[in-house]
Amino acid sequence: MKSFLYAVCFYVCLALLFVGCVEDEPQPSYIKAEVVGPDCESGWYILNVINKNDEDAEQSRGRYLGQIRSGYVTTNSLPAAYRQAGLQIEVALELNENESPSCVTVHMMHPAVVVKHINYAPVLQD
């Protein structure tokens, strides 16, 4: 009986340790971006990341996206429905360190990103 009680206590402690060590996956942090148009290579599109103020940057610290604050980025993972210039969308982005467009001519290079999720349907800018 005593060894059974020890075994139960051991497994309860082990379960508590396991539950306490598991971290939740970070939630996506959405930022507003405007689709500028196609980049120099086919399939790549330029987005203008809009950072309204420093308050937004403070709120997004420590979450899914803290890598990109504002400026232009390029992506090859923008869904076809969102490839119209002038669309303003909310997206979750992540830096893409594996690939970037290969431009033949001298061209402004922007950081490559991966679109992880789009928060809502696009709205055309007037």
Which pair of structure tokens corresponds to residue 33? 């971006």
Q: Which residues contact 79 (CB under 8 A, 6 or more apart)?
A: 115, 118
In this model, does residue 116 exceed pLDDT 70? Answer: yes
Q: Which residue has the higher pLDDT, 82 or 104?
A: 82
70 phi/psi in degrees, rounded to 5: -165, 170
- 96 in any annotated domain: yes
The CATH number of the domain where 51 resides is what?
Answer: 2.40.50
Which residue range(s) make up the domain with 80? 31-124
pLDDT single digits (tens) 18-30: 777 766 666 667 8
CA atoms of 89 and 124, how far apart (whole Å): 9
Domain total for the chain?
A: 1
| Strand ranges in the chain using DSSP code E only, listed in sequence order | 31-38, 45-50, 71-75, 87-95, 112-118, 123-124
pLDDT single digits (tens) 76-92: 999 998 999 999 999 88
pTM: 0.64
Instruction: Determine the residue type at 64.
Output: Y
- 20 in any annotated domain: no
Residue 76: per-residue pLDDT: 93
- 13 in any annotated domain: no
pLDDT single digits (tens) 18-77: 777 766 666 667 888 999 999 888 899 999 988 655 444 445 444 444 556 678 899 999
- 15 in any annotated domain: no
